[in-house]
Structures are given as C-alpha cells and as structure tokens.
Structure 1
Amino acid sequence: MRPEKIAEANEIDARVAGALYMILADYNGMDMPTTNELKKSLRENGASFNVVKNRMLNRALSEDASALLKGQTAMIYGDGDVVEVAKVIKKFTAAKKKPVIKGGFVEGKSISAEDVVELSKLPSKDVLRAMLLGTLQAPCSQLVGVMNQKVASLVYVLSAVIDKKEQEA
C-alpha cells in the first residue's frame, strides 16, 4: 500500500477505536452548505461527521459491516451522548430528507437504522440520571415524611395535654 493509504487507514482505525458510537449514513445528494450545517450541529453535541471509503471502513471495523457499506458512506462518531446525536440526526433528516441512516455501532454492538430512530426517542443522559436519582431518593423521602409525621403526632398529643392541664387549673 502507498504511504498515504496507510496513513488514511491508520486515521480511520484511530477514529473507530476512540468512538463510543458510530452511525453510518448515506450522504448522497447533500450539497456542501447542507453538509456543513449538519457538521456544525453535530459538533455542538460532541460528534464528528466524516466521509470515508467503504473498503477502508470495512477493514477498520471488527464486525463485518459490508451490508451497511453500500453506496456513499459517511460516519458520524463520537464519545459523548449518542441519544443527543440521534436526536440531531433525526431532526436534520426530517427537515432536509438527507442523510439516510444505514445503521451503526454503539459500544461495539451493531444497530439498525430503526434503532437509531428509537435512540432519538429516549430522554437524554441527564434526564435519565435525574429520573434514577428521584427513584433512589423516593424511599428515603417517604421515610423522612413518616418519621416527621410521628414526631408531629407526639407534639400534638403533648400540646393537647398541656391545653387540658391549663383548662383544669
């Protein structure tokens, strides 16, 4: 292989190895301003968009992805929140009708184009963390409420006894 091909292969290997997720899309028919708009919105969410040669990408992937690597392929990859990136892609695709999602990989597992759409319907990591925290805190807050009520009941009883003693005196 020529040195420039080796360098390109090493660069793709590094991108694939360092990515938590990779979504493959067919960018056929996208003009440069549209592509730049998509790249900008992806960059804001910690993702990158690169056009790659199918042969080079297939060589870099651990699983056989030849079914996904037909036509023109762009890889959208990163190590941030895949749900937010899926939402950006879905919104962009709804508005511009491009790119067409082929599928991808999340944490080494293969996903289909439908799975990417399902990912976009999930709440973000921060919302999921808040929901989990609320679920974990619910028993503690209920316990505090019960204990507080018992103390309040005792105070009411003591207050009633004091009022009764005052009325008798």
Structure 2
Amino acid sequence: MKPEEKGVRPEKVSEAAELDQRVAGALYMIIADYTGMDMPTTTALKDSLRERGASFNVVKKTMLSRAVDADIAELLQGQTAMIHGDGDVVEVAKVIKKFTAKNEKPVVTGGFVEGKAVTANDVVALAKLPSKDVLRAQLLGTLQAPCSQLVGVMDQKVSTLVYVLSAVKEKKEQEA
C-alpha cells in the first residue's frame, strides 16, 4: 500500500494544526537544542519562561520544518525545542541566557523575531538590550531634555534680570 492510500493519522493532523497555530500566533520563536536536560531542569526553565509569557515546547523536527515557511534545517540540531510567545522577546532572551550560563543547556540555535530570522548570536545580543520599560524611559528622557533645558535657560535669564534690578536698587539707595 502506498503512503497516500494509507492517509495521515488524525493525531498527526491535530499535532500539525496545533504547531501551525503556535507558529502563526507567536511574535517570536527561538529554537534550541535541549539534549541532555533532565526533567527537573526542563521544568525549571519552563517555569521561568512562563513567568515572562513564553512557552517551551518539544517539537518534532519534520513538523517544525513544515510549519515554518523558511529553510531551517541548520537550526534543527539534536533534540529540538521551540520557545515562543507574544510578549517581550528581550526578557525571554535574558531568561534563556541566565539559565544557559547556570546549566549550560539549552543551546540556542536560532529562531525568528517578528518574522525575521535571527542567529544564536542575535539572541545573545537581544539579551544584552535593556527592557522595553527602560528603553521607553530613555526615550522619554531624550524627548524631555530640550524642554527642561529651555526652562533652565529662561529661568537663568529671569534670575539675571532680577540681580541687575536688585543691584540698581541698592546703588540708588546708597546714593540717596
């Protein structure tokens, strides 16, 4: 019997549909090799990621390569896990970097952020960035700086005028 005649098992169809849905709904997807991680370590990583709004799922390489439109064969090494979510990718990258520094696993092989391919080095670079809140504060400070400097200059000019008038007043009082 040919494979076409056999058909695909319903479990496989539902797994593929679920994976397609996860990939389509994710703002970012980081692919990692989790070879050698034991269950307590994996659970600890999953809990850390869940706090940041991310999920850690073990996936089959063939299903993942079919779900992603790009050629990702070089990313699929060892036992493959997919870390995905729709929150702040920088926070998730920091969690992964911190966890990897402590446990030496998982090994990030690459991924996608907002539809663009990223390498493992790019994920490390993301971990070095400040969080969105810090970046927003820096932007706000940059936008407010000209206004506060203008207020300072105007205040200085008014103060100078007051000092001059005070000096004229004192001089006239001494002459009188």
Q: In 1, are the aligned partners of 2:29 and 2:82 still within 8 Å (CA)? A: yes
Q: For residues 76-95 of structure 1, give each alpha carbon's deviation from its aligned partner in whole angstroms, at most 9, with x where no partner exists.
A: 01111111111111111111
**One-letter amino acid of the structure 2 residue matched with residue 131 of structure 1:** Q
| TM superposition shift of 1:71 | 2.3
Matched, 1:129 2:120: no
Output the TM-score relative to the length of structure 2: 0.92
The range that moved more, 67-76 or 100-109, is 67-76
The runs of 5 or more residues in structure 1 that have no matched partner are none
Mapped pair 1:29 → 2:29 = no
Verify: 1:103 aligned to 2:105, yes or no.
no
- Note the 1:55-134 alignment, pairs <5 A: 55-134=62-141
After TM superposition, where is structure 1 displaced by more than 3 Å over at least 4 residues in a row? none
Distance (whole Å) between structure 2 residues aligned to residue 159 and residue 33 of structure 1: 76
1:2 aligns with 2:9: yes
Count of residues in correspondence between the two structures: 169
Offset of 1:73 from its aligned partner? Answer: 0.5
Instruction: Report deviation, 1:154.
Output: 1.1
Whether the 8 Å contact between 2:34 and 2:106 is mirrored in structure 1 is yes
The CA RMSD measured in Å over matched residues stands at: 1.1
Residue 131 of structure 1: how far off its partner (Å): 1.2
DSSP 3-state at the match of 2:57: strand
Residue 13 of structure 1: aligned partner: 20
* TM-superposition CA deviations, 1:45-82 (whole Å, max 9, x none): 11110001111111111211122123210000111111
Residue-by-residue CA offset, 1:1-41 (whole Å, 9 max, x unaligned)? 22221111111111111111110001111111000000011
Q: Which amino acid aligns with 1:98?
A: K
TM, length-normalised to structure 1:
0.95
Paired-residue identity, %? 76
Counterpart residue number, 2:146: 139
Specify the alignment match of 2:174 in structure 1.
Answer: 167
